[in-house]
Amino acid sequence: MNLRVSLIGLAFSIVATGSWAGGTAVLEAGTGANRISTTVEFNDGNMRMGTAMPGFDGYMVMTETGIYMVTGMGGRPMVLDLGAMMSMMGGMAGDMMQSQGINLNSGIGQFIEMNDADRDERVAGIPGQVYNLTYTNDSGNAQTEEVVLGRDATLRELTETLATWSRMMAVYLSVDLGEYQGAMDDVLQYGDGILRLGSGYRLVSLDDAAPDPGRFVLPAAPQQMPSWTP
């Protein structure tokens, strides 16, 4: 499942407030031919994530017990426990994820400053405030992009759900998100979540209707992974 780098721009750590209400978000990430659309359903800490990709009919599910990849084999559902699989693969798991374009920190390193651009922008029907965000990128160079932050209870729940997913994946991959999470904590003093980040990430829609709980139920028991031999 190829989740491009910018998709994870929402995966940051904040403190959840209020009750869980649930919803469904459609996100667009990447640019040009690499732009992809991802649907995220969430409720009560559970998440189902599906990305529209040619030739792939699968999705990811996060529950309190872990993160699972669901796909089909021979017309029957197959469920893989990502935590067990990555633990068995060791350091090779991180290399594999990087090769598929998955980067949990989205290239944002250290927060430098954020200045009010003195204009508003409505994204996915949610009013937002535009800021100029300056941060260090993967190469250690300062970079400035527009970021639109909104205040909305469902947006905050989406943010926290993706933050939980990001933390769990970081544990699986032995990735340190300390600096990135610190930078996003600084950014999120100004809003409940990111509506747009430059031209590489945008929230397309956000529905506050709670998904059916059955959407988070695994269709089969997780497969036992065979011993991994490099």
Domain-located, residue 10 = no
* Total Cβ atoms within 10 A of residue 166: 23
Q: Report if residue 13 sits inside a domain.
A: no
What pLDDT sits at residue 226?
Answer: 52
pLDDT value at position 29? 87
- Specify the higher pLDDT residue, 192 or 13: 192
Answer whether residue 1 is part of any domain: no
Contacts 24+ apart (CB under 8 A), 127-135: 128/191, 128/195, 128/196, 129/190, 129/191, 131/190, 133/187, 133/197, 135/108, 135/109, 135/110, 135/111, 135/183
Of 98 and 50, the one with more pLDDT: 50
pLDDT tier, 8 (very low <50, low <70, confident <90, very high otherwise): very low
Q: pLDDT at position 86, please?
A: 77
Residue 223 lies in a domain: no
What is the rounded CA–CA span in Å between residue 211 and residue 216? 9
d(CA 30, CA 8): 11
pLDDT tens, residue by residue, 154-164: 999 999 999 88
- With a cut of 80, say whether residue 180 has pLDDT above it: no
How many folded domains does the chain comprise?
A: 1
The answer to whether residue 12 is domain-embedded is: no
- Please determine, for residue 129, whether its predicted confidence score (pLDDT) is greater than 50: yes
- The SS3 call for residue 50 is strand
25 within domain boundaries = yes
Among the residue ranges 33-47, 63-77, 80-94, 209-223, the one predicted with the least confidence is 80-94
Residue predicted with more confidence, 226 or 155 = 155
Q: What CATH number is associated with residue 195?
A: 2.50.20
Structure confidence at residue 224 (pLDDT) = 62
User: For 49-86, how does the pLDDT look when each residue is reduced to its tens digit (9 = 90+)?
Assistant: 998 776 667 899 999 999 999 988 778 889 999 888 87
Residue numbers of the domain that contains 205:
20-216
Residue 199 inside a domain? The answer is: yes
Q: Which CB contacts under 8 angstroms, 24+ apart, belong to 70-77?
A: 70/218, 70/219, 76/220, 77/219, 77/220
What would the mean pLDDT of 201-224 be, rounded to a whole number? 94
Q: What is the percentage of the chain residues whose pLDDT exceeds 90?
A: 43
What pLDDT, on the 0 to 100 scale, is given for residue 95? 52
**Residue 109 · residue 138 · CB < 8 Å:** yes
Please tell me whether residue 161 adopts helix, strand or coil conformation: helix
* Strand-strand pairing, 76-81 and 111-123: unpaired
Does residue 76 lie within any of the structural domains?
Answer: yes
Average pLDDT over residues 125-139: 89
Contacts of 57 (CB under 8 A, 6+ apart): 71, 72
